[in-house]
Amino acid sequence: MRGDMSVVRLWLVQLLVNFLWSVMFFALRSPLAGLITLLMLDVLVFTYIIYAAARSSIAAWLFAPYFIWLLFATYLNGYVYRFNSSSVEVSRATAATTDKFTPNKSQVAMNYSIPQLRYADDVLMPAMSSETIEYHYGKHFQTYVDNLNRLVVGTPYEGMNVENIVLRAEEGPLFNNAAQVYNHALFFDELTPSQTPMPVRLEQRIIRDFGSVESFWERFSMAAASLFGSGWTWLVEDRDGELSIISTSNADTPLRYGYSPLLTIDVWEHAYYIDYRNRRAEFIKNFRNIIDWERVDNRLKKDVV
């Protein structure tokens, strides 16, 4: 009886630790604390299985899938911790020395550096919080830049601007990081806390190709909301000046398919999870209020035909 109570107490302790991991990882958003808690949980559940096996092998095997899931969760938590800890904060002094990004000219060059924001990190609220800017811009974007600087050394692409690397590199780590640098630079460049009306030229083009501005936004929002997994949704211009909406997965970009990107929304979870959790549709809705339509209009290559 005493041994059975030990097993019960052990199981209750692991339930408590499981709860603590949820708090550390999801509520407090601390990957390191979450990883430490998960490692403790792995030990507790393994110990519980050993105790249970001494009484019933069937009981032990029933908890084997749970233990395997915990090991997988530990791996994922460890990956998140490594990803976050590998990046560094962008200092204002460093940012002040970088050129502002002009997407059609690709001013990001060796050594690649993160473009300076044209706005403070707390002025896009409530659509986008300063914490999201801190992590999305200051950590995720910076990590892509750091990885690109590291991966390009000793390759035929060393010294190329980002746009040429995206167009020429084969799929793999170098392409993924170069494309994410290009995509993120365009994304952060098109945001503003002081939205102005859509310029007439852009409005006419959208009406011509989508019927109305509202029809365009409905189609754009639907494409972004329905994109499975991580990726980007774009308003693009083809070589004939026609506008269309496309979505790309992961780091892929319309440059690879002969399109000129005009507007994009990042629907990787790191773009909205801090503010919206799993409510991607709400993020898309609020994103409309922080688009700098002047910047989008400036990316048009052809006048109305």
10 vs 138, more confident = 138
Closest CA to 182 of 159, 165, 170, 169: 165
**3 state DSSP class of 246:** strand
Are 158 and 129 in contact by the 8 Å Cβ rule? The answer is no
The residues near 137 (Cβ < 8 Å, ≥ 6 apart) are 90, 114, 117, 121, 184, 188
Copy the structure tokens of residue 222: 């639907």
Confidence of residue 142 (pLDDT cuts 50, 70, 90): very high
Confidence of residue 119 (pLDDT cuts 50, 70, 90): very high
pLDDT in tens, 194-203: 999 999 999 9
The pairing of strands 260-266 and 243-249 is unpaired
Confidence of residue 294 (pLDDT cuts 50, 70, 90): very high
Query: Spelled out in words, what is the top-level CATH class assigned to the domain 90-305?
Result: alpha beta
pLDDT of 10 over the 60 cut: yes
Contacts 24+ apart (CB under 8 A), 28-33: 29/274, 31/77, 31/80, 31/81, 31/84, 31/85, 32/81, 32/85
**3 state DSSP class of 194:** coil
The predicted model gives 35-46 an average pLDDT of: 82
pLDDT in tens, 181-218: 999 999 999 999 999 999 999 999 999 999 999 999 99
pLDDT in tens, 212-258: 999 999 999 999 999 999 999 999 999 999 999 999 999 999 999 99
The predicted model gives 160-184 an average pLDDT of: 96
Query: Rg of the Cα trace of the chain?
Result: 24
pLDDT of 27 over the 80 cut: no
169 vs 80, more confident = 169
The predicted model gives 144-150 an average pLDDT of: 96
> Is the C-alpha dihedral spanning 12, 16, 21, 22 positive or negative?
positive
Average pLDDT, the chain: 84
